[in-house]
Amino acid sequence: MLERDSELRDLQAMRDVLTPSELPPRPGIEIGSAFAPATDGVAGDFYLVAPGPDEDSTVFAVGDVSGKGLEAARRATFVRTSLATFAGFVDAPCQLLELANQVLVERTGVSSTFVTAIVAVVHPRAGRLEWASAGHPPPLRLDTGEMLNGRRAAPPLGVSASLTCHNGRETLDPGAGFLLFTDGVTEAHKPRRELFGEHRLVEVLRELAGSSPSAVVRRLTADLRAHAGDILGDDLCIVAARMRTA
Amino acid sequence: MTDIYEAPEFAAEAERRGPVAVVSVVGELDIATAPELQAAIAGLEPGFEELVVDLSGCSFFASSGISILLEENARGAREGFRLVVVKAPREVQRIFDLTSVDEMITFRDA
């Protein structure tokens, strides 16, 4: 019983690190985020917003560890911490994922417990977004829900010693934005019923075109909860960002 | 339209056809039902040369299932059997494409 209590305490402490309720303000970007844990236990979703190596770059990451419980949360904490550390020195998304993969494999060896992650780096002054995915759904444009099609995703982190990864690149004009999310969003559903799916996600993004990132994530979270009947089979993790216009 | 659809009850059934072991997955494989797939595989009499995991009747496949397939793929390399996965319906199969796991596991058309 005591052991169970201390495990829950550890999980809660890690959860605060993995998905902090306050994100740091970043120059030129408005950001909204939401996290909702799976109903029957903590899974391994995380997000990160961190300063890049120069003052105009911000590194975003969203990730999802397969499995649940303390071990999944530990793995998620490790990957998030690695990405946060490297973000201060490297702002090429693929390189960040490759480094995270390398330290993860060095620490735990190649494993079938894997971590999917997407890294997006924004340069507001240059109006540029670069991203790369390791087994993770691609970013969507805010306002249209259009999928940003980069190169094919690399395999998830932790399953092989090396990661071959490709950067995608898009222009982000003032006022434009993007959405990062975990598969708990598109896969939210009542048992044996239809998934929330990409089409519903796109509908919400179109309907809320021009709204603040916080308003978008709030509405999405409410719709997802309603669709899933308030029982979430998996964590939900959403980060929305929009370039400021002035 | 949404509430008419109902996926079948989850089941993972194992059978042995000579040197080939087949585990058929029906319904939604999620974090709650994944242990049943694991148990079905663990219950197979050892010594098979090929392990076929048939996902053609699978209506949902979560990341916990991908871990099981990666694990079996690695075990196959160690113990000398081949893992072959029969593709899931198109919308379910997408997860393997999206995660690039289709590059690591051998798939066969249903």
Residue range A8-55, pLDDT digits in tens:
788 788 888 898 888 889 999 999 999 988 887 767 899 999 999 998
Q: How far is residue A177 from each of residues A136, A143, A213, B19, measured CA to CA in Å?
A: 19, 8, 8, 54
The model's pTM: 0.90
* Nearest chain A Cα distance for residue B107, angstroms: 16
Test B71 with A112 for CB contact under 8 angstroms. yes
Residue in B with minimal Cα distance to A64: B63
Provide the domain limits for residue A239.
2-23+31-243
Select from A94, A108, A112, A232 the residue whose CB has the most chain B CBs within 10 Å, as the one to mutate to test that interface: A112
Tell which of A71, A157, A165, A195 to mutate to test the B interface (max B CBs under 10 Å).
A195
The domain tally of chain A equals 1
**Separation between Cα atoms, residue B53 and residue A189, nearest integer Å:** 25
Q: How far is B83 from chain A (nearest CA, A)?
A: 14
- Close Cβ partners of A75 (under 8 Å, ≥ 6 residues apart): A44, A65, A104, A108, A113, A115, A158
pLDDT tens column, A115-144: 999 999 999 999 999 999 999 999 999 999
> H-helix or E-strand containing B90?
helix B90-98
Global ipTM = 0.80
Segment B77-87 mean pLDDT: 97
Question: Cβ–Cβ of B64/A67 closer than 8 Å?
Answer: yes
A143 has a chain B CB within 8 A of its CB? no
Say whether pLDDT at A209 is over 90: yes
CATH number at residue A189: 3.60.40.10
Q: Which CATH number fits domain B11-108: 1.10.760.10, 3.40.30.10, 3.30.750.24, 3.40.50.2300?
A: 3.30.750.24
Model pLDDT, residue B1: 47
